[in-house]
Structure 1
Amino acid sequence: MVDLPAGQVTLSDRRTQHRWTVAVAAYRLAVAPVTRAQYARVVGECPSGTERLPVDSVSWEDAVRFCDALSEIDGLTPVYRATGENLEWDRSADGYRLPTEAEWEYACRAGTTTPRYSELDDIAWYRANSDSRPHEVGTKLANPWGLHDMLGNVWEWCWDTYDPEVYGSYRVLRGGGWFDEHWSCRVSVRRRSHPTLRLDDVGFRLARG
């Protein structure tokens, strides 16, 4: 994980034409999405030869359970707490968690202001170069803050609900994936999915702090 400084980021939504600015406190973020080997360490075996591929087909609920389970393994205080049908985030806990949408975009931009932090083929696995499959993490160039695969390879779950008044419990996905066209692999692109769904181009990345 890398330490990221406090700052602010302006998010936008093409559907509603809404823009909003969010202050971001200092936090830590994993340099790559969770791999199949890392996931298997907590939940079960990983097929041989796929250890460094990003884990996929995990729901948002799977991802938050993994965060808490890994926190316990590593001697940290779990972040998420179930209260009835709701899941609460204990912001005083020191364990692993999903990044917020603002944290994700702030980290992806890494101080840049363009739609991508470098040339897409240099930084991302997407439809034009992926051979219709995910690839090992960390094989494309990192962004200026040392983070790999922020665009392409797999979409990444964020903590936030997408638009609860319209879509209820649907959660935010960011980053684009191996099957997406180039226009979906941009820093500001938002996607949504139900927290129980498992999709073969969706994974997640760990945050702390």
Structure 2
Amino acid sequence: MNGGAVELVSVPAGRVTLSDRRTQRSWPVRVATFQLAAFPVTEELYRRVTGGAPPTAGHRRHPVASVSWWDAVRFCNALSVAEDLTPVYRYAAAGGIDLDATADGYRLPAEAEWEHACRAGTTGPRYGPLDDIAWYRDNSAERCHDVGGKQPNAWGLYDMLGNVWDWCWDRYDPEVYGDYRVLRGGGWFDEHWSCRASVRRRSHPDLAIDDVGFRVARSM
């Protein structure tokens, strides 16, 4: 945990095998120790950092949603500046973005980091019984819920599955989908089969979707 606005959990180093159902491909990735937010970014925190109007009382602890990948990147830099940290992301002249691996600020998790953190040492499709750990179509009443309302995984991370999908830093498959970015975790409207540690989804970085949010990470 840190002393700022975000509760961070230290995730130990490890190894995870990513897989893609579309291509039937799998590949191992080593993950270094890093920190990941215990909760998705809430509406309250997002609007406080970005200067937006405060959310209504019933939505302050909801995960922020309908935010694009670019919105999430801008938030990471804004939160870094607010906490006197060095921003991770730098905007390139051609409209792209570069990542400063030496910066101590906030960033989006890499896809491998996300899955390693989600699994928390488990090897099955989920880190617990789905109804105990996630808001999904069968129990969500087809709406978003406050963060932290379900059980965390063994490393103290909440809502890794269900509630809202998390944007990740990675491109999904650049050769086929160009700049589309990875989404992980499943959301409140998804069937049970989408709420698994290994499931990958993609979206264009400009799109904002009502069941997609994000959580922040920091390198160590």
TM-score, scaled relative to structure 2 = 0.94
Determine whether 1:47 maps to 2:47.
Answer: no
- Where has structure 1 moved over 2 Å in runs of 4 or more? none
Per-residue deviation, 1:46: 2.7
Q: Name the residue aligned to 1:37.
A: 44
SS of the equivalent of 1:121 reads: helix
Show the counterpart of 2:79: 70
* Selected match of 2:99 from 89, 94, 98: 89
Q: 1:9 is matched by which residue type in structure 2?
A: V
**Partner of 1:14 in structure 2?**
21
Q: Distance in 2 between matches of 1:165 and 1:46?
A: 41
1:176 aligns with 2:175: no
Q: Percent identity?
A: 68
Secondary structure at the residue paired with 2:114? helix
Counterpart CA distance in 1 for 2:181 and 2:124 is 25
1:160 partnered with 2:158: no
2:154 partner letter: P
State the distance in 1 between where 2:154 and 2:172 align: 27
Q: What is the CA deviation profile of residues 50-94 of structure 1, one whole-angstrom value per residue up to 9, with x for unaligned ones? A: 100000000000000000011000000000001112100000000
Alignment coverage as a number of residue pairs:
209
Which blocks of at least 5 consecutive residues in structure 2 are unaligned? 1-7
- Mapped to 1, the partners of 2:54 and 2:33 lie a distance apart of 33
Q: 1:166-201: CA deviations, max 9, x gaps?
A: 000000000000000000000000000000000000
| Partner deviation per Cα, 1:86-123 (whole Å, 9 max, x = no partner) | 10000000000000000000000000000000000000
**How far apart, in 1, do the equivalents of 2:20 and 2:159 lie?**
22
The amino acid that maps onto 1:153 is: N
Task: List alignment gaps of at least 5 residues for structure 1.
Answer: none
Q: Are the equivalent residues in 1 in contact too, given 2:47–2:55 (CA < 8 A)?
A: no
Q: Distance in 2 between matches of 1:156 and 1:25?
A: 20
CA RMSD between the two structures: 0.5
